[in-house]
């Protein structure tokens, strides 16, 4: 079932599937909720799955002014308050992962558990930091999909791509910020991702209640390249309690 919720100047489109406890999936930049097509079915067997489109993405129209992490975060806070009507498990990919990280910092009571896929916390984690933001190439690769559903029309793709390029230049968070996320968190990354493995390990080390999964033989498109494995890892994390490990090191009880 598709619907909209108004958050400030944005009218956020979303779809809902399944039944059970709420789980909100948030896509990355320059794509939309269709990114999760290989994942929604298995997850909806256990959860009520919500798939919003960020402002200026998918079915959600663009608004005047720049696109910012703060605005995306505001929109998702409103989504959790007005649509979910309470706390939820959240899963984000790339930009979506970073947005959920900010929601957890600003409104921790709205988040139960986090699954953060291929999303770092600072620009130091970029595998190719000097890669140019090529709007022409993006339009060739992603423009047709955008045009299929955007209320702004195909010609608006270049406007959104330019805004996202400006967003990508901004420095998000510091390790000290990440350490304030106390929620149980699954960090997931491809072994050949646009986020480096050392950065994800740094994030894992900084977060007090994090678990780490590296999906072998995949890239930034891991949710689509190995959906069965990704879905299994996510469901294991969200449906089972942590096991008492036999030989804990990082999680060993502190000496009292």
The residue with tokens 């977060």 is 207
* Residue 247, domain member (yes or no): no
Of 41, 56, 62, residue with least CA distance to 95: 56
pTM: 0.96
Q: Classify the C-alpha dihedral 133-94-29-231 as positive or negative.
A: positive
Question: What per-residue confidence (pLDDT) applies to 54?
Answer: 98
Give me the CATH number covering residue 51.
3.40.50.1820
Count of structural domains within the chain? 1
Residue 102 has pLDDT above 90, yes or no: yes
pLDDT in tens, 26-58: 999 999 999 999 999 999 999 999 999 999 999
* Residue 254, domain member (yes or no): no
pLDDT in tens, 52-78: 999 999 999 999 999 999 999 999 999
* Residue 25, domain member (yes or no): yes
7 forms beta bridges with 10
Of 114, 101, 91, 107, residue with least CA distance to 174: 101
Question: What per-residue confidence (pLDDT) applies to 131?
Answer: 86
**What is the Cα–Cα distance from 101 to 185, expressed in whole angstroms?**
10
* Residue 88, domain member (yes or no): yes
Question: What per-residue confidence (pLDDT) applies to 171?
Answer: 59
Average pLDDT on 155-172 reads 90
Question: What per-residue confidence (pLDDT) applies to 255?
Answer: 64
pLDDT in tens, 126-145: 999 888 899 999 999 999 99
pLDDT in tens, 177-207: 999 999 999 999 999 999 999 999 999 999 9
Comparison of pLDDT for 221 and 7, the residue scoring more:
221
* Residue 249, domain member (yes or no): no
Three-state secondary structure call for residue 7: strand
* Residue 248, domain member (yes or no): no
Which class for 125: exposed (0-12), middle (13-18), buried (19 or more C-beta within 10 A)?
A: buried
* Residue 210, domain member (yes or no): yes
Structural domain boundaries, residue 216? 2-239
* Residue 246, domain member (yes or no): no
- In angstroms, how far is CA 227 from the centroid of its own chain? 16
């Amino acid at each position: 079932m598709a619907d909209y919720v108004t958050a400030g100047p944005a009218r956020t489109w979303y779809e809902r599937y399944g039944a059970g406890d709420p789980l909100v999936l948030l896509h990355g930049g320059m794509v939309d909720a269709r990114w999760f097509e290989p994942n929604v079915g298995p997850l909806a067997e256990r959860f009520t799955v919500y798939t919003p489109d960020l402002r200026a993405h998918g079915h959600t129209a663009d608004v005047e002014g720049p696109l910012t992490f703060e605005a995306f975060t505001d929109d998702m806070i409103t989504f959790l308050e007005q649509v979910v009507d309470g706390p939820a498990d959240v899963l984000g990919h790339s930009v979506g992962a970073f947005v959920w990280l900010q929601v957890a910092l600003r409104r921790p009571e709205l988040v139960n558990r986090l699954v953060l896929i291929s999303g770092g916390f600072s620009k130091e984690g970029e595998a190719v930091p000097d890669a140019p933001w090529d709007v022409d190439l993006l339009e060739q690769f992603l423009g047709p999909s955008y045009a299929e559903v955007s209320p702004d029309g195909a010609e608006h793709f270049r406007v959104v791509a330019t805004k996202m390029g400006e967003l990508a230049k901004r420095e998000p968070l510091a390790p000290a910020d990440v350490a304030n996320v106390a929620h149980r968190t699954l960090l997931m990354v491809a072994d050949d991702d646009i986020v480096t493995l050392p950065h994800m390990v740094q994030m894992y080390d900084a977060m007090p209640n994090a678990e780490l999964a590296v999906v072998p033989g995949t890239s930034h498109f891991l949710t689509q390249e190995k959906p069965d494995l990704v879905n299994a890892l996510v469901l294991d994390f969200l449906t089972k309690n942590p096991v008492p490990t036999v030989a804990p090191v990082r999680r060993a009880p502190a000496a009292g």
